[in-house]
Amino acid sequence: MGNDLSILGTQWAAVPLRGTIAHGGQKLEGGEECINADPLARQAVQIDGFWRCQVSKVAAHDFHNRREYVVVRIRTRQEVGPQALVMARHIACLRGWHPALARAEISALLPQMSVTRLEGRRLVALSGDGEEDVLVQAVNVSSGCQAILCDAVLWPCKGESDIEGLILDVLEHLKQHPRVGSVAVRAWRHEGRIEGVGPSQLAQRIGGRLHDLGYSIDLDEPVHEFGVVIDASSNTIACGWMLGFGDETDGVSSRKAAERPFFKPVSLDPRLARLAVNLASGPIDNGATVDLMTGTGGFLIEAALSGRVAVGFDLDPVMVDGANQNLTWALEAENMTEHRGQVMQGDATQLEGCMPQLEIPLTGFVLDPPYGRNSQGSLAPMELLEGVLNSARSVAERNASLVLILPIHPLGEHPDESIARTHEISLLHGQWSDVERSLRHSGWDVKALWVEHVHASLSRLILHATVAPQD
């Protein structure tokens, strides 16, 4: 067992059973570690250092995706007072526009790590092996992740009186995880305010203590940044050595689709396009991204700007020319002279005949069907969709993923959770049952569904599917 995450005090925790746990004369045997979607564990911390704790009560166990989990009451062998410092290997801090999609995105970008939701709606624990350069790449290309806090600390905080204890324990923790070079402290809020606790005040106090420890403080160009997140949704402060931006602004959200030289009103927001590319494609070097019906090039632009090998298809030469204009514009804006994206005129229902020779496998497929224009001649929308899905499956690797985005009638706000497949979904074009049937017939297995609220008369359904296993 590793010791990536330790708990002081008594907590509820969902533990993926890796070995045998003895309790009350019973032995519970389990399998390998995976991401836990059990609702009982959504507000608990996943234990990777379970060897340091002892079971005091087994509350439940659950089978999810054929893997067994047990929810247990654990305590350390050394009891502590009411304030509990929790040390996590890493904590990802998510942006607020759609935390549920952001959790799925960071899971896709870091498949070697376990991602577990914490009590704060925008905080997740990352456990497992993850080299720093891999984490840096993931947070830099992510749409939904602000920052990753390494060697992180979580501290329950209800007000100013709790801060001195936090600072003392953080300093003790920093002595165990030192850095070489200049530092700066960056602090920001999630979900409102904790009374008496401000980002500037906290950053100054921690920065002063870092200076006392011998660190050189450089607010302009530090070698290392120490991030502090004040999360009002859980009355928690999370902090650790920071990778990423650490605020609400980034290059993805600052790029507006309406500013492109070739623009159509139905163009996706770049942050959703980037997230869809990451969710479908996973790590940068996992394989190539295919924008099945590229239109104005939204998916392709985000894939190319991320450094991915990407190819976009459209049957309409006007759209191909426009997508190329937009790609050139976006690359110039980012001062990128080299990229691995290309736009081609081609029929997405016949990919085997038009796919260029690529040196890496096709593992990520993104599709936002052009219901507003008849790009395939006389094909009806559902006939077109099934043809494209079949074509994508014919060239996809066995580990490939697909993200399909469909316009739907308003379904309310669902930023924190995926929605059930049994949810009543009303498409703007066609029937949901026909989409499900097309996915099954073409060999795609739906894994999760999310809804993005656009405006009073429109929502978007974001569907994630993988290649269905062969019998």
Residues 293 and 368 in one domain: yes
pLDDT-derived band at 318, boundaries 50, 70, 90 = very high
Residues 261 and 408 in one domain: yes
Residues 365 and 441 in one domain: yes
327 belongs to a structural domain? yes
162 belongs to a structural domain? no
Residue type, 239: C
**Which range (322-331, 347-356, 372-381) has the least confidence?**
372-381
112 belongs to a structural domain? yes
Rounded to an integer, the average pLDDT of 335-356 is: 95
pLDDT-derived band at 248, boundaries 50, 70, 90 = low
How far apart are the C-alpha atoms of 443 and 445, rounded to whole Å?
Answer: 7
pLDDT for 445: 97
- Expressed as residue numbers, the domain containing 134 is 90-153+178-244
Res. 405: pLDDT tops 60: yes
Among 76, 103, 123, the domain-final residue is 76
pLDDT for 63: 37
pLDDT-derived band at 108, boundaries 50, 70, 90 = very high
Residues 99 and 65 in one domain: no
How far apart are the C-alpha atoms of 176 and 169, rounded to whole Å?
Answer: 11
Residues 225 and 258 in one domain: no
Residues 200 and 320 in one domain: no
Is 301 in contact with 240 (CB distance < 8 Å)?
A: no
- Quote the number of domains for the chain: 3
pLDDT for 68: 40
pLDDT for 28: 40
Rounded to an integer, the average pLDDT of 255-277 is: 86
pLDDT in tens, 7-55: 333 333 444 443 444 334 344 444 323 333 333 333 333 333 332 333 3
Rounded to an integer, the average pLDDT of 80-97 is: 69
User: How far, in Å, are 39, 115, 431 from residue 36 at the CA level?
Assistant: 9, 8, 32
170 belongs to a structural domain? no
Residues 235 and 355 in one domain: no
pTM of the model: 0.81
Rg value, the chain, Cα = 24
81 belongs to a structural domain? no
pLDDT for 431: 94
Residues 332 and 389 in one domain: yes
How far apart are the C-alpha atoms of 304 and 338, rounded to whole Å?
Answer: 9
CATH no. for residue 201? 3.30.2130.30
Residues 325 and 281 in one domain: yes
Among 190, 222, 244, the domain-final residue is 244
pLDDT-derived band at 170, boundaries 50, 70, 90 = confident
Residues 208 and 257 in one domain: no
pLDDT in tens, 430-439: 999 999 999 9
